[in-house]
Each structure stands twice: as structure tokens, then as C-alpha cells.
């Protein structure tokens, strides 16, 4: 049942259920793919898809949210993740490896983006915050692990330089209060 057709009383419940499913899905992916075991190409693919996902969901938030707090966060995401994408491409070039740079989301992230597109109002805001929280928890784990144990010097340096930005994003999204 689409959120727009549900009764006002059931919308918060549906939003909570959707957030729980997203968290479960993302937790399973994180446990199945330990960031510390990623090679340079694996890190590059995962980081690029994650970056693109955070960028696309934030652009959508700028178009949809009425919350000044979420708008400010989404603005920061678009600005920072646009820069991160350019830096990641430079690091991949500096690594001189045989890298394929993804230009589209994988199935899991595309599905989450579609769920976000289907939401509106407070349910949209709650889902966006949950998605960004989970994405940044994963990014902090990925970048931290690769910065410590990565096998490509240029990508390892990129991960170490970008980790504080991801940690800041996580801290900022955790401060957002969503009214449902």
C-alpha cells in the first residue's frame, strides 16, 4: 500500500516498518561484505556507489523536504559528495590500477532510492534520515577499515582523508529530529 493512500494514523507505523527493513537489509550487506577484506577495486566500487547513493538521495531531499534541518543537511551532502566523487576519481587514477568506476547504483541502492521517491511528507523525512544514518554508518566502517588495511596506497590515502568527513556527516545526521 503506498504511503500516500494510507490513513494518517498508519503512516508513522509504515515509516517505522520501512526503516526497520532498510536497517536489516543494510546490516546483512555489511556483515556479508566486511570492508577490511576489500581490495582496491572492491573499495572503489563500494565507495563510488555509496557516494552516488548519498548524493542522489540528498538531491531528492532538497526537492521534497520542508524541514530546514534536513534541507541544510542535504545541501551539505550534495556539496561534500560532489567533491568526494571528484577526489575518488583522482585517487583511482593515481592508483594506476585496472579500475572500473561505477556510474549507476547497484540494485540494492536503486531499490532504496525508489522507496524514498515513493514516500512523502514526514514519512519521506524519516526515511531519508534513516537511509543517511545507515549509509554513513557503513561508510565510516568502510573508509576506516580501508584506511587501515587497504592494498592500494592512493585509495588508502583517499579513505584516510575522507573518513573525518564521513564521521562528521554521521554526527550531523544523528542530530536531526524528524516529526512523524
Contact by Cβ (8 Å): 90, 162? no
Which residues lie closer than 8 Å to 176 by C-beta, 6 or more apart? Answer: 67, 69, 70, 73, 129
Write out the chain's pLDDT in tens, 180 residues: 344 444 555 445 444 444 444 444 444 444 334 444 578 999 999 999 999 999 999 999 999 999 999 999 999 999 999 999 999 999 999 988 778 889 899 999 999 999 999 999 999 999 999 999 999 999 999 999 999 999 999 999 999 999 999 999 999 999 998 876
Can you read off the three cell numbers belonging to residue 99?
579500475
pTM for the model stands at 0.79
User: What ranges do the domains of the chain cover?
Assistant: 38-174
Helix ranges, the chain (H): 11-32, 40-64, 68-95, 107-118, 121-149, 153-174
CATH 1.20.1260.10 fits 38-174, yes or no: yes
Amino acid at each position: 500500500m503506498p504511503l500516500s493512500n494510507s490513513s494518517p494514523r498508519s503512516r508513522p507505523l509504515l515509516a517505522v516498518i520501512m526503516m526497520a527493513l532498510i536497517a536489516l537489509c543494510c546490516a546483512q550487506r555489511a556483515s556479508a561484505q566486511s570492508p577490511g577484506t576489500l581490495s582496491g577495486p572492491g573499495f572503489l566500487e563500494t565507495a563510488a556507489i555509496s557516494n552516488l547513493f548519498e548524493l542522489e538521495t540528498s538531491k531528492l531531499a532538497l526537492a521534497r523536504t520542508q524541514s530546514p534541518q534536513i534541507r541544510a543537511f542535504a545541501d551539505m551532502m550534495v556539496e561534500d559528495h560532489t567533491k568526494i566523487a571528484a577526489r575518488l576519481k583522482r585517487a583511482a587514477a593515481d592508483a594506476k590500477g585496472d579500475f572500473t568506476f561505477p556510474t549507476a547504483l547497484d540494485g540494492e541502492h536503486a531499490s532504496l532510492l525508489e522507496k524514498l521517491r515513493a514516500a512523502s511528507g514526514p514519512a519521506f523525512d524519516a526515511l531519508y534520515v534513516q537511509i543517511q544514518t545507515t549509509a554513513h554508518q557503513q561508510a565510516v566502517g568502510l573508509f576506516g577499515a580501508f584506511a587501515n588495511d587497504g592494498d592500494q596506497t592512493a585509495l588508502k590515502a583517499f579513505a584516510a582523508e575522507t573518513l573525518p568527513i564521513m564521521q562528521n556527516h554521521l554526527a550531523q545526521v544523528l542530530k536531526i529530529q524528524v516529526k512523524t
